[in-house]
Amino acid sequence: MRIVIAEDSALLRTGLTLLLAENGHEVVEAVGDAEQLLRAVLAHRPDVAVVDVRMPPTFTDEGLRAALLIRQAQPETAVLVLSQWVEERYAADLIGGGLNGVGYLLKDRVADVADFLDALNRVAAGGAVFDPDVIAQILARNRRNDPLAPLTPREREVLQLMAEGRSNAGIASALTITERAVEKYVGSILGKLDLPPAGTDHRRVLAVLRYLES
């Protein structure tokens, strides 16, 4: 897997580069600001861009805005965003581009190397990986007009795990229930969200988008 890293901390940038190289990945470039990130992605067309949210010159949201540009201009490059904090508005915008090849993790979670590498592989394969805290804070923005009101607490749990990018097997394992039970919950969720079967729509993705936008 070919990867571009954008991280302003030289120590973390070097650490990520060594970690990925040790696990068989090729870091084609590691940069320290958003401008260099955009140039590197254009030049190398990597499989994945690993992007810090806050980078020079203002250390506010340069990385996230660059990630949005990458998603729009070069959708074949997956984006995995790393952050100390949840930037709700930009996280929602990142998700709004679709749930293929995108992830948003808090750096505290990256301390587990196996989890980080798993998330990277899932995003590179076209999946979606979101930190539970990211999802929770996005959802907390607007609970008055909650389109998820018809869902039971268990259905909400299932939908949240879907939004984290988990398969039915992963949901079953997390909730200690059977895959058959998960299938029933998913069917109920899709019905309550008024997402009937359709030949062209991916109902599971539509349900997650509705969840994240609610």
- Rounded to whole angstroms, the Cα distance separating 11 from 24 reads 20
Mutual orientation of helices 132-140 and 88-96 as an angle, nearest 10°?
A: 100
Which pLDDT band, with edges at 50, 70 and 90, does 89 fall under?
low
Distances (CA, A) of 139 to 41, 50, 92, 108, 183: 31, 24, 10, 21, 24
182 backbone dihedrals φ, ψ, rounded to 5° = -60, -45
Would you say 53 and 87 are in contact if contact means Cβ atoms under 8 Å apart? yes
Instruction: Work out the percent of the chain whose per-residue pLDDT is above 90.
Output: 47
pTM score, two decimals?
Answer: 0.67
List pLDDT tens digits, range 129-142. 888 777 777 666 55
Task: Give the mean model confidence (pLDDT) for residues 164-173.
Answer: 90
Which pLDDT band, with edges at 50, 70 and 90, does 200 fall under?
very low
List pLDDT tens digits, range 1-32. 999 999 999 998 999 999 999 999 999 999 99
